[in-house]
Chain A
Amino acid sequence: MFTEEELQKVQEIRSHYPTNLAAVMGVLHMYQDKAGIVDEKGVAYVAKLIDVPEEHVLGVATFYEMYHQHPTGKYKLQVCTNVSCMLCNSDMVLKTIKDRIGIGIGEMTDDGLFSVHEVECLGSCGTAPVLSLNKQYHENLTPEKINELIDTMKAKG
């Protein structure tokens, strides 16, 4: 699964801590970046790699929102709907997405290109409303900006 270079990165992460267990989050992040998902196979792989019990890795992987146990779209539209974004019309963000690609919270397009997720406060309250596309924040959203963003992703495929 991991390349030689990635295995070195695992070693580096491991060296930050006095225990193997503490490396679990960093290595799970690496796995998800590569596989797009942390499924049973991923849990087993990470457990073996850092030599900790599988059930421990599973316990961690299932606790956090950002390790996905189920497939997501290639482009994850993670829309904040918490208070400051709600006050600045996150309803508009969800509606614009729905009008454009036909899906709402918890859904994925049939081609697997997009999925929409409701997320908790992203720490962008001063530039609300905001969404995170995969790892990139897009702030001060307007219908035009959202449509442009979706067009760009569609063109990339």
Chain B
Amino acid sequence: MIDYQPVILPNIPDLHKIDVYEQHGGYAQIRKALGMKPTDVIDIVKASGLRGRGGAAFPTGLKWSFMPQQGDKPSYLCVNGDESEPGSFKDRQIFEFNPHLMIEGILIAGYALRIKAAYIYIRGEYETWVRMVEKAVADAYAKGYAGERMKETFGTDYSVEIYVHRGAGAYICGEESSLMNSIEGKRPYPRVKPPFPAQVGLWDCPTTINNVETIANVPVILEKGADWFKSIGAEKHPGPILYGISGHVNKPGVYELPTGMLLTELIFDVAGGVPGGKKIKMVIPGGSSMPPLRGDALEGIRMDADSLKAAGSAIGTAGIMVMDEDTDLTRILTRITHFYKVESCGQCTPCREGTGWMLKVLNRMLAGEGESKDLDLLHSVAGNIEGNTVCALGDAAAWPVKFAIERFRDEFEAELRQELPRTIVPTVT
């Protein structure tokens, strides 16, 4: 097994408590950052090679460099903890076990980007975790690490306010421009880009949106250095990453390991393999939006942006869903499509109508009334959604359908001929 010591979710009891966090070197990195120029902080993050952990794997330092270093308008930071992508359950671990690491990351990012206020956006269903984060933020304020009192604590001119904004059940709010509209109290329809958030964001002011895990990596980079960070995992997509492994595996859970691990190593060694020693039919490597991979073609695929791209998928949120050989793919694809139909915000016609049409066809197949040509119809509808919408939800709805049909046509044909059982064999009884 790989030799790696977790830094985002280290095994330290009670680390969520501010005193324990301080005893383990907490809030020393913001002090260090305040001794540097803001642009130097951005340069360190750039040099580390950190890429966003929320889905798109965009280079964080580059994103930060789009923010104006001066200007009349206030700048904002949004920390995206909407975590609604099916198969993703990692940010919740940070909220629960190491919230101060995220808060310290906010302070450092805040200083680097001249942020006036930061909003931690947490999905509404996570109310238990909203309370945990609110407590951690209140503790940081009480100790003078956030708000006006920062000036006194750190002897500096800089201060930032941190607020928790609770969502109310809408997957679309994980899309960055939708998230901003949600914070503004509008119906959260995604915005047309350009203009990009770094120019016209929250309340038309410069704004950066970073995922919770991305922000939590920032104090670690300052503590251990950009070279250390770059030395972990995949060369072009380095650092620690939280893999969420679920579905048909013996030991599901969130595992902090270097990027670039072999998918097979994660499934068989880390997550204990498939119950009953069954074969794998399908793996979705990064949350339900990402193109599914065939279980008989997993050899050599590594969990980093470039390796997965070469394999015809993407890293997404690194939420790996494993399906064994008895899984009913029509049912899985119907459930995934149902999700996107429910969560489509309705702003763009191809997505609003297309998801509904795909669901109708899939339901027909599920009822045993499908034909081979339905697969072509599905593929065609998916192709007409992809690339024709304001935000990426359209692509997210189209990809699972398009790639499942391209890669598993034999399976679907067999299901249509009713040669395969119509149920998912459960692993948990």
CB within 8 Å of B: which residues of A? 16-19, 21-26, 28-29, 52, 56, 59-60, 63-67, 81-84, 86-89, 91-92, 119-129, 132, 135-137, 140, 142
Contact = CB atoms under 8 A, between A and B. Distances in A.
B269 interface: no
Contacts of A129: 428
Contact of B185 (A24, A86, A87): A24
Contacts of B169: 64-66, 119
Contacts of B88: 121, 123, 125
A83 B336 contact: yes
Contacts of B182: 25
B89 A87 contact: no
Contacts of A16: 117, 161, 163, 165
Contacts of B117: 16
B237 interface: no
B127 A123 contact: no
B253 A87 contact: no
Nearest to B188: A63
Interface stretch (B241-249, B362-370, B385-393, B411-419): B241-249
Contacts of B429: 89, 92
B411 to A, nearest CB: 16
Most B CB atoms within 10 A — which of A22, A86, A125, A127? Answer: A125
6 closest A-B pairs by CB:
A65-B169, A64-B168, A89-B426, A125-B246, A21-B185, A66-B169
Contacts, number: 157
Given A19-B185, A22-B183, A135-B128, A83 B84 contact: no
Contacts of A59: 186-187
Interface string B170-213: 11000000000011111110000000000000010000000000
Interface in B110-160: 117, 123-128
B52 interface: no
Given A84-B247, A126-B253, A135 B127 contact: yes
Nearest to B253: A126
A137 B128 contact: yes
Nearest to B345: A63
A123 B426 contact: no
B383 interface: no
Nearest to B168: A64
A88 B128 contact: no
A26 B203 CA distance: 18
B128 A136 contact: yes
A84 B167 contact: no
Contacts of A92: 426, 429
11 contacts: A17-B185, A21-B186, A25-B167, A67-B168, A87-B424, A88-B247, A88-B428, A89-B427, A119-B169, A124-B89, A140-B428
Contacts of A88: 246-247, 426-428
A117 to B, nearest CB: 11
Given A88-B247, A137-B128, A82 B339 contact: yes
Given A18-B203, A25-B168, A63-B187, A128 B124 contact: no
B339 A86 contact: no
B246 A126 contact: yes
B76 to A, nearest CB: 10
B304 interface: no
Interface in B333-359: 335-336, 339, 342-343, 345
Contacts of A132: 125
Given A83-B336, A125-B87, A26 B248 contact: no
Given A60-B186, A84-B247, A84-B321, 15 more contacts: A22-B184, A56-B186, A59-B186, A83-B284, A83-B288, A83-B321, A83-B332, A84-B87, A88-B426, A89-B427, A120-B339, A125-B319, A126-B245, A126-B254, A135-B127
Most A CB atoms within 10 A — which of B117, B182, B345? Answer: B182
B166 A120 contact: no
Contacts of B395: none
Contact of B166 (A25, A122, A137, A140): A25
Given A19-B184, A123-B126, A25 B165 contact: yes
B252 interface: yes
B104 interface: no
Contacts of A121: 84-88, 288, 339
Nearest to A88: B428
Contacts of B246: 84, 87-88, 125-126, 128
B185 A23 contact: yes
B120 to A, nearest CB: 11
Contact of A82 (B91, B252, B254, B335): B335
B84 A63 contact: no
B323 interface: yes
A19 B204 CA distance: 13
Interface in B221-263: 244-248, 252-254
B335 A83 contact: yes
Interface string B281-292: 000100010000
Nearest to B131: A135
